[in-house]
C-alpha cells in the first residue's frame, strides 16, 4: 500500500510542476525565463534579466530552482549560479534568503510567486532580512558604495 501512496504523491508532484511550467511558458514573469533542466523536472533553470534602472541593469543572472521529494510541503531552494552582489543572497553559495523559503512557506506558494519575489529583490533589496549582514549594513549606511559594487559585479560577472 505504501508504494501506491508514494506513486500517487509522486504523480501529484510531477503534475503540479508540469502545470506550473506551462503557466510560466504561457505567461512569463517579466524579466525572467524559467523551466525544467534537460536532466530533471525537479531542477529548473531560472534566468533573471536586470531591469532598466536597477543596480543589475544589463546583467543576465542564472539560478537553479531545486525541488526535493517533499515538495510542495517543503520549499525549494533557489541558488544563483552567476555571482551577484546582493545583501539577500549568500555570496558563498548563491542561495537566496527570503521569508518565502522558510517562515512564509506554504504548499500553496507557486513557482511564479517565488520567481516574482526574487525578481523583486533584484529591484529592491531587503536589508532588514539579509543573508549577508555586512552588505545589509552597507546598503543602509553606505548606499553609494553598495550600488557601485553591485553595478561592478554585474558588469564583471553577469554580462
CA distance 4 to 23: 28
**Domain containing 74 — which CATH number?**
3.10.110.10
Distance CA 46, CA 68 (A): 17
Burial 84-103 (b: 16+ CB within 10 A, else e): bbbbbbebeebbbbbebbee
State how far the Cα of 122 lies from the Cα of 31, in Å rounded to an integer: 11
Span 39-93, pLDDT tens digits: 889 999 999 999 999 999 999 999 999 999 889 999 999 999 999 999 999 999 9
> How many structural domains does the chain have?
1
What digits encode the pLDDT tens for the residues 128-141? 999 999 999 999 99
What's the Cα-to-Cα distance from 122 to each of 11, 127, 147, 151, rounded to whole Å? 34, 12, 12, 12
pTM attached to this predicted model:
0.92
Cell for 37?
A: 533542466
CA atoms within a 13 Å half-sphere pointing along the CA-CB vector of 97 = 18
Residue 77, domain extent: 2-157
Amino acid at each position: 500500500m505504501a508504494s501506491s501512496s508514494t506513486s500517487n504523491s509522486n504523480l501529484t508532484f510531477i503534475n503540479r510542476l508540469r502545470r506550473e511550467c506551462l503557466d510560466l511558458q504561457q505567461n512569463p514573469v517579466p524579466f525572467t525565463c524559467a523551466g525544467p533542466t534537460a536532466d530533471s523536472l525537479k531542477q529548473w533553470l531560472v534566468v533573471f534579466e536586470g531591469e532598466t534602472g536597477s543596480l543589475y541593469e544589463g546583467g543576465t543572472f542564472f539560478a537553479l530552482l531545486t525541488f526535493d521529494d517533499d515538495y510542495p510541503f517543503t520549499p525549494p531552494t533557489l541558488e544563483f549560479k552567476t555571482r551577484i552582489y546582493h545583501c539577500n543572497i549568500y555570496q558563498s553559495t548563491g542561495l537566496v534568503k527570503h521569508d518565502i523559503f522558510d517562515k512564509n512557506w506554504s504548499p500553496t506558494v507557486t513557482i511564479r510567486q517565488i520567481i516574482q519575489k526574487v525578481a523583486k529583490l533584484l529591484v529592491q533589496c531587503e536589508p532588514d532580512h539579509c543573508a549577508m549582514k555586512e552588505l545589509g549594513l552597507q546598503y543602509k549606511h553606505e548606499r553609494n558604495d553598495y550600488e557601485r559594487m553591485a553595478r561592478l559585479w554585474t558588469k564583471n560577472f553577469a554580462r
